[in-house]
Structure 1
Amino acid sequence: MNKRLFLFLVVLMSLSLIGIIAVQSYFINDSYQNQDKQFELNVKRSLSFVANTIESKEFIYFSRKLKDYKEKTGVEADSTAFTNLFLEVQNEENDEVIQYSNVISEESYKVPSTFFDIGRDSIRISDLSNKRTKKVFKVNPLDGQKVTSSEKTFIEYSDLTELRKSVFETTFRDMFKDYPIYKRISAKTVERLLEQRLLQDGIELEFEFAIYDNDLATKVQSKNFEKQVNTNYGIPIFRDNNNRSDYNLLINFPERREFLFSTILGMLILSILFTSIIILAYSSALYQLIKQRQISQIKTDFINNMTHEFKTPIATINLALDAIKNPKIMGDEDKMRRYLKMIKDENKRMHAQVENVLRISKLDKNELNISKERIKLHDLIDVSVSHVQLIIDDRNGYVKTHLGAIKSSILANDTHFTNVLVNILDNAIKYSNDAPKIDIYTENVGNNIILKIADQGNGMSKQVQKRVFEKFYREHTGNVHNVKGHGLGLAYVKRIVDDHQGHISVESEKGKGSVFTLKLPLIS
């Protein structure tokens, strides 16, 4: 995958993820707003019901009080007006005609001010009564005349019809328009009615309420009510005949926001959960893509390095074989031995590289059989140093050992752990431009032995230190192949050390050398 396509896919997936998060946020916010509107609608419906209930209760109370007053005092009406309503129904089966008639009488009563206690001498109130009459006539089939059947005539009276209520209520509203609110309704009554109605509408929240006269608070309110612009819900109460009122019933809910959030909490949690999973999966996929791209680049470098390293010994072997074929060389025994030794050495070198690759492959598949036995680490150090001593001497360098550990017995595999030490020493030699200078230290710390291999070579940057034990990783040096290798040596070292329940780390500074530290458990 080329770099432009990779970047395009990353940008496309990132935009898609941002879009998903934005859509989720929009729908959650929209759901919250809808719940807020529904909550407001339910509250206002409850307030409207309570306001109407309060007005109706007050009207019924004073209506009954007025009725009782009229019955007790026998107050007479000043004037009377009548309105007649007539309905006739014919029954063809028995030749009967039924007439229904309503007579509505309006009467005006004058009652003293002490009855309502509103600061006037007397109050004139209009009242209505309803007289309902039903008459049944027999129809003569010859001349069609109607004959009254008196035994089927009766009269009904109704004291509280809707029409009577309307007339009285009109008078009542005008009369009580300026009456003090705290004398008309108590705070406890308002609280009880609100509590009952809110529960019926599914709102189980603590609330505070108050009745305001325009912008002034009245005595009818709860203890902790605070008037706030954005959280108060209100509705007019005790309206006059023009449907206007100076009074407003206000209510607020201190825990309204928490209640609204609780209604969308399930959706919010699921949304966050699934969005987090998507983000985690996307991050993991992106990480894997970047890692695979890096591995692909490392493998490409590995193949290039392996090709370069095999190319030289193959060329050397070919030249040696061509030289052996020369008749002059075939007669010179010393040169023959020399060329045969070159072929053997180069062949051994290629074989060692292939073995290194195979060892790592077997380690990855857990197929490498590593048998362990009791070995002294100091003995392994001496053997490892002897493997590289000739190369060190050839480059006028040195390897000094400072074996300060009193105990050095560990459980290890002789061959593999020797390879570990040789690999580290080989790296110290390869990455030293001048004569290699290597110091080896050991010491006991608790039940462990600490091994430090310090060189004064090229060193490495912090970035390289973090990845130096990764498989196939090599520090980039452009197209210069002055240092042979394929990025498997230190990966092999770490795997073997880990298999021995040990720990390896590196400290380095560019241009000042490196220190590899191994920590291994001792055995008694």
Structure 2
Amino acid sequence: MKKKSLWIITALMTFALLGVFVMQMYYIRESYNLKSQLFEQNVNQALVAVVNKIQKQNVIHRINQKDNEFKQLEVSSIRSKTDSIVSFKVKFKENEIQRKLKQQQQILAYLNFQDSIINANYLQPQIISEEDYAILSNPNPNDNTLTYNINELRTKDGRVVSRQLSSSYVRKRPVIKLNNLPDSIIYLALSPTDLRPQFITLPSIDPDLKVRFKMEDAKAEHLYKVELERLYADTVNIFANGRNVMLLQDVAKEMANKDVPLKDRMPSQEVVDTLIKAELLSKNIDLDYNYWVTPSRNAGKVIYQNVSLPTGDVMPKNTFSKVIFGNDLLTKDPGMLYISFPSKNSLIFNNMFVTLVSSVGLLLVLISIFAYTIYAIIRQKKLSEMKTDFINNMTHEFKTPVATIMIASEALKDPDLTPDKARVNRLAGIIYDENVRLGSHIERVLNVAKLDNKELKLGRSPVAMNELISLVVDSISLQLQKKNAELVLVLDADPDVVIGDELHLSNMIYNLIDNANKYSPENPKITVKTKNLANGIGIEVQDEGIGMTKEQTKRIFDQFYRVPTGNLHDVKGFGLGLSYVNDIIKQMNGTIRVQSEKDKGTTFVIHLPIN
């Protein structure tokens, strides 16, 4: 992609992103204005409701005050009537007790009279209970356990002096209570003629007495109710007829009084604060607020407040006001109620939380997509340039051995060279070496491709790193000799065995030493160290070459990236060596980092775990 096209795309995307940002800001502002209007409307409605309730509280207070005064008059006026009612009830109770006592005396006289008659006409009469009567009156004679014995006392000539009857029936004599009499009283007595037992039943109360008692009780109850209703009627009618009219007239007279101070018409501060809080909560306004109640013509004279009124006539921001007694035309000072909300914006923004979060989230997503798109375009552009450079380098690297092989092959075709075996062998060796070189290049490219596709499987076997480094140094010694390089080995790791792939580990060491040799001027000085770490082995490859900048060290492990060498073109390669090294170390769960300064050299530090 051309640079001009990139700038055009970036400009268009920036313009679109700014447009979305402006639209979101406009939408948020309109939403804020709408929420503010709704908040002001709710506050004004709450103030109207508070003022209406204050006015009602004032009227109710006046009515209750006058009502209490009338009640006190009523209490003092009906106290005497109440005393007479109480004395009447006490007197009625006393009369009732005396009447009941006389009735019990009459019942007792009746029972004594009946008992004397039974005793005169029957032998050995005794009162039994209803339970005993049920047993003794059983029609089945086998179940009746009552038996009698007659004991007689006679003279010598056979004349009966006395006779006594005894039976096997022995039961407790029932107790007769006058205040809890049964319906009837049952006697068990002996007939004077044949001495046979028989039952005598008589009513507990004489029927005539019972009727008379009921009439006396009904007459007394009727007289009691009539007299009590008369006393109550006299008490209630003392003020019932004119009380309501008098009460309303007095209240109206006080309400029309212009000289009543505003504070006397207001409820208590606790009531005002409760009303304000309740009405605000009913409108879903849960905010800290400040309020003041002042005369309408003198805002500096505060009657009620929960905070100090600001100095001067300037009210704080977000202050609302309402006339308290504005509907009362006769009021000299209607009064003003002020209320302010220091944290009004916090409530509005809390209500807009979802809107703000969604808008900010959308903007962040768009900005992220925009940034990633630009980053991807620039990265792809750089990658395209590096791939182009890689293809040029690869073409050059492949062209040299191919040309050498072609020249050597043409020389072998010369019939004059056939007898010269030494020359033929030298040309064959050249073809073999160049073929190996070409195969090495191809193998390196294929290994990187396998690493990218996760197809390269590393071996897992014990590898002695000190010995492996020594072998790699031997294999690269000819290249080092060409530049008179000085290689120092400090192999202090003991033990030095790691579990890994020997081939790829040797390639890793080879690439690092080869890079140190290539990116150093004449007579390179290279140091390779190994040492034991807490959980692995450390390997350092240090040179005193051209070094790198911080920006270059961030990219050296990218594929196809090659450190620029200025106007020098003697450093060859594909830009795949360090990328290959980094991938191999990562697959072995190791780490690699680079320390470098421009024109002072580079050090690669590797950490490989033992297992």
TM-score, length-scaled by structure 2: 0.63
CA contact (8 A) 1:211 1:217 kept: no
Amino acid at match of 1:234: S
Structure 1 residues 480 and 206 mapped into 2: Cα distance closer, same or farther (>3 Å)?
closer
Cα distance, 1:516–1:206 mapped onto 2, change above 3 Å: closer
Kindly indicate whether the alpha-carbon contact (under 8 Å) linking 2:317 and 2:340 is maintained by their aligned counterparts in 1: no
Measured at CA, do residues 411 and 250 of structure 1 come closer, stay the same or move farther in structure 2, by a change above 3 Å?
same
**1:505 and 1:243, CA in 2 relative to 1: closer, same or farther beyond 3 A?**
same
In structure 2, the CA distance between the partners of 1:13 and 1:243, relative to structure 1 (3 Å rule), is farther
TM-superposed deviation, 1:246: 6.8
Pairing partner for 1:439 from 527, 531, 555: 527
The alpha-carbon distance between structure 1 residues 335 and 24, as it changes in their structure 2 partners (threshold 3 A), is same
In 2, distance between residues paired with 1:243 and 1:40?
28
Selected match of 2:370 from 265, 282, 287:
282
User: Greater share of helix residues, 1 or 2?
Assistant: 2
Q: Provide closer, same or farther for how the CA distance between residues 66 and 395 of structure 1 changes in structure 2, counting only shifts above 3 A.
A: closer
Match of 2:516 in 1: 428
1:30 aligns with 2:30: yes
In the alignment, what sits opposite 1:221? 304
Q: What does 1:176-325 correspond to in 2, within 5 Å?
A: 176=258, 179-186=260-267, 187-213=269-295, 214-224=297-307, 226-227=309-310, 228-239=315-326, 241=329, 247-325=335-413
Q: Which has the higher contact order (CA 8 A, sep 6+)?
A: 2
Deviations 1:367-391 (A, max 9, x none): 1122121121111011101111122
**What are the equivalent positions in structure 2 for 1:133-148 lying under 5 Å apart?**
none
Deviation at 1:204, TM superposition (A): 4.2
CA distance in 1, matches of 2:333, 2:582: 87
Q: Tell me which amino acid in the other structure corresponds to 2:263.
A: Y
Q: Would you tell me which structure has more strand in proportion to its own residues?
A: 1
**CA separation in 1, counterparts of 2:483 and 2:579?**
27
Counterpart secondary structure, 1:216 = coil
Deviation of residue 332 (structure 1)? Answer: 3.6
Secondary structure in 2 aligned to 1:31?
A: helix
Matched residue count? 427
Change (3 A) 1:392 1:64: closer
Match of 1:117 in 2: none
Q: Tell me the residue number matched to 1:3.
A: 3
- Cα distance in 1, alignment partners of residues 281 and 551 from structure 2: 66
Aligned to 1:83: none
The alpha-carbon distance between structure 1 residues 369 and 330, as it changes in their structure 2 partners (threshold 3 A), is: same
Per the alignment, residue 94 of structure 2 pairs with none
The letter of the residue matching 2:266 is: I
Specify whether residues 205 and 500 from structure 1 end up closer, same or farther in structure 2 by C-alpha distance, changes over 3 A only: closer
Structure 1 residues 50 and 368: CA distance shift in structure 2, 3 A: closer
Deviation of residue 486 (structure 1)? 0.2
Q: RMSD over aligned Cα, in angstroms?
A: 3.3
8 Å CA contact 2:316, 2:340 repeated in 1: no
Shift of 1:480: 5.4
| Aligned positions of 1:99-110 closer than 5 A | none
Normalised to the residue count of structure 1, the TM-score between the two structures is: 0.73
Question: Within 2, Cα distance between the matches of 1:242 and 1:2?
Answer: 86
Offset at residue 456 of structure 1 (A) = 2.3
Give the superposition deviation at 1:56. Answer: 5.9
What amino acid does structure 2 have at the position aligned with 1:439? T
Spell out the pairing of 1:469-508 with structure 2 (5 A cutoff): 469-477=557-565, 481-508=569-596
* CA distance 1:218–1:446, change in 2 (3 Å): same
In 2, distance between residues paired with 1:194 and 1:392? 92
Q: Deviations over 1:392-432 (max 9, x none)?
A: 22332232212222221111222111111111111122122
- C-alpha displacement of 1:434: 0.3
Number of the residue aligned with 1:73 = none
State the alpha-carbon separation in 1 of the partners of residues 534 and 278 from structure 2.
75
Extract unaligned runs of 5+ from structure 2. 70-243
Distance 2:336 2:483 in 1: 101
3-state SS, counterpart of residue 519 of structure 1: strand
CA contact (8 A) 1:434 1:457 kept: no
For 2:519 and 2:280, the matched residues in 1 are separated by 82
Aligned to 1:120: none
1: distance between equivalents of 2:278 and 2:421?
118
Matched residue type, 2:579: A
The answer to whether the Cα contact below 8 Å between 1:236 and 1:245 also exists between their aligned partners in 2 is: no
- Deviations along 1:254-288, whole A, 9 cap, x unmatched? 44333222211222223333333333333333332
Structure 2 SS opposite 1:472 = coil
CA–CA distance in structure 2, aligned partners of residues 481 and 11 of structure 1 = 38
Q: Residue 291 of structure 1: CA displacement?
A: 2.1
> In the alignment, which residue of structure 1 is the partner of 2:548?
460
- What secondary structure, in the 3-state scheme, does the structure 2 residue paired with 1:320 have? helix
Residue in structure 2 matched with residue 406 of structure 1 by the alignment: 494
Show structure 1 runs of 5+ residues with no match.
Answer: 70-158
1:194 is paired with a residue whose SS is helix
Return the offset for 1:52.
4.4
Q: Aligned to 2:476, what secondary structure does the other structure show?
A: helix
Q: 3-state SS of the aligned residue for 2:562?
A: coil
CA contact (8 A) 1:399 1:438 kept: yes
Q: 8 Å contact 2:519–2:571 — kept in the other structure?
A: yes
- The question of whether the paired residues in 1 share the 8 Å contact of 2:518 and 2:571 is answered with yes
Which amino acid in the other structure matches residue 440 of structure 1? Answer: V
TM-aligned CA distance change 1:3 to 1:61, over 3 Å: same
Instruction: Compute the displacement of 1:39 (Å).
Output: 1.1
CA distance in 1, matches of 2:293, 2:488: 96
The 2-side partners of 1:64 and 1:430 are apart by: 108
CA contact (8 A) 1:182 1:218 kept: no
Structure 2 CA distance for partners of 1:225 and 1:400, relative to 1, 3 Å: same
Residues 237 and 245 in structure 1, CA contact (< 8 A), matched pair in contact too: no
Q: What is the rounded CA distance, in whole Å, between the counterparts of 1:405 and 1:68 in structure 2?
A: 106
